[in-house]
Structure 1
């Protein structure tokens, strides 16, 4: 049975964890998001979110986006390899519908799996 919880062990919490991802990550992008990813030598993926006030002005909208991304990650975590992910918003997406966010995120999760697999096979 697949565990769909989103506990502390699945989050990037400290500045050091975020800094580690920012050093030599691989990058996947969509029109709405950029995700930086780096292998973490764990059996599960971890997620960190950065949504700048400059990009999404209202806290209500930033929180809605964070909540949506966390939930989507929670539902797809079992498909992802052991990587640390930092998701960044590209522009003002406060008026974007949830179904569009979902489409973009699902494409990004698939890209991460493909790119991580390619990098792992190239390293061998």
Structure 2
């Protein structure tokens, strides 16, 4: 994912945690914050070390990024943080994608019906 689409700074994460809205299901927590200045969404991903070793955490992050690449055109310009929960480590990529789409629909980040 290109640099313009990423949230990396801790201060940005903290700001979105404090000011944004959160939605969750069993596998993911999603924080969203509207940003009128952006032309596209920005994504931050958080996967705790409690979920597993680096291989497991990177697998989850790759699946999340892939889901956002697939829906790149359908997402409203806003700042989004995805936090993976414990059950996500036992899921394959398609299950992660389905669960993430479910929580993103609840968070209303899509511009049209998916």
Find the aligned partners of 2:14 and 2:54 in 1 and give their Cα distance: 24
| Cα distance change of structure 1 residues 108 and 92 upon mapping to structure 2, 3 Å threshold | closer
CA displacement at 1:22 relative to structure 2: 1.0
Q: Which of structure 1's runs of 4+ aligned residues deviate more than 6 A?
A: none
What is the match of residue 60 of structure 1? 55
Contact 1:26 1:36 in 2 (8 A): yes
Query: Over the residues paired in the alignment, what is the CA RMSD in angstroms?
Result: 1.9
Of 57-66 and 74-83, more deviation after overlay is shown by 74-83
What is the match of residue 122 of structure 1? none
CA displacement at 1:109 relative to structure 2: 2.5
Q: Choose which of 68, 71, 74 in structure 1 pairs with 2:66.
A: 71
| Cα distance change of structure 1 residues 23 and 14 upon mapping to structure 2, 3 Å threshold | same
CA displacement at 1:18 relative to structure 2: 1.1
CA displacement at 1:57 relative to structure 2: 1.6
SS at match of 2:71: helix
Q: Give the aligned length.
A: 110
Find the aligned partners of 1:28 and 1:79 in 2 and give their Cα distance: 19
Q: Please tell me whether Structure 1 or Structure 2 has the larger radius of gyration of its CA atoms.
A: 1
TM-score by length of structure 2 reads 0.86
Q: Choose which of 95, 101, 108 in structure 1 pairs with 2:103.
A: 108
| Cα distance change of structure 1 residues 89 and 114 upon mapping to structure 2, 3 Å threshold | closer
Find the aligned partners of 1:114 and 1:92 in 2 and give their Cα distance: 23
Find the aligned partners of 2:41 and 2:33 in 1 and give their Cα distance: 10
Gaps of 5+ in 2: none
Find the aligned partners of 1:114 and 1:36 in 2 and give their Cα distance: 11
